[in-house]
Amino acid sequence: MKKNINCPCGNNLQIEYEEDVDLDKNPESLESMLNGTFMSYDCPNCMKKHKPEYKIMVSWKSKNVKFEILPELDRGEFYRRKKENLPYQTIIGFPEMADRLAIIKDGLEPVIIEALKSFLLAKADENYPDREINAWYYGNGPEGIEFHLDGIRADEVAVMRIPLNVYEKTMGDYKKHPKNELFSSLRVRSYLSVQNALRPDALK
């Protein structure tokens, strides 16, 4: 697909991107999605960085997943859609795409990671009720699963770790009660995300 981007400097960037990305065939796409350079374009005139979001399909057959990635701007429209049964999962926004792919790459269960984010964000909301705070998966190791929270202070992330035994315990709860209030609140049709539990009433 070809698109034009109008740069504020007056320059017009013509870009071309794949609407269907197969991560098994294009490991370099996976790498660029994980490191945030996917669909990033510098204006050759003023060097401004453009990171447009368009709807794309991402398949990763070796991990048994297929996603439609919607632009963040389509979030409201997604919640207004009629009920549907899609043969793939939905992700909204490229940052969430990078987050989900990293979770899958590290062999973790996305629903459990979104549940852990909801624990962290509930705590953050008690301490900073007026801020819009996001939690992102960062990695995992012997000290636990690391998350970065942004929105508490400008240009800073807060590093939070959750011990692996909490992950295991939450996994146990999920296996016993996959449709309890917590896990149900993380899903809207094809879309799994802590954003579903946090969305304002206007999007319900």
Q: Which stretch binds Zn ion (CB under 5 A): 47-55, 105-113, 121-129, 170-178?
A: 47-55
Query: Quick one: 7 or 164, whose CB is closer to Zn ion?
Result: 7
DSSP 27-93: HHHHHHHHHT-TT-EE-TTT--EE-----EEEEEGGGTEEEEEE-GGGHHHHHHSPP---SSEEEES
Q: Does 166 bind Zn ion (CB under 5 A)?
A: no
Q: Does 43 bind Zn ion (CB under 5 A)?
A: yes
Given a contact cutoff of 8 angstroms between Cβ atoms, the answer to whether 161 and 144 are in contact is: yes
Q: Nearer to Zn ion by C-beta: 50 or 187?
A: 50
Residues 92-121: x where in contact with Zn ion by CB under 5 A, - otherwise, as a string:
------------------------------
Q: How many residues bind Zn ion (CB under 5 A)?
A: 7
Residue type, 193: S
Beta-strand runs (E) in 76-183: 89-92, 134-141, 144-153, 156-162
Residues 6+ apart with CB under 8 A from 201: none
Of 38-46, 117-125, 128-136, 155-163, the segment contacting Zn ion by CB under 5 A is 38-46
Q: Is 45 in the site for Zn ion (CB under 5 A)?
A: yes
Binding residues for Zn ion, per CB under 5 A?
7, 9, 11, 43, 45-46, 48
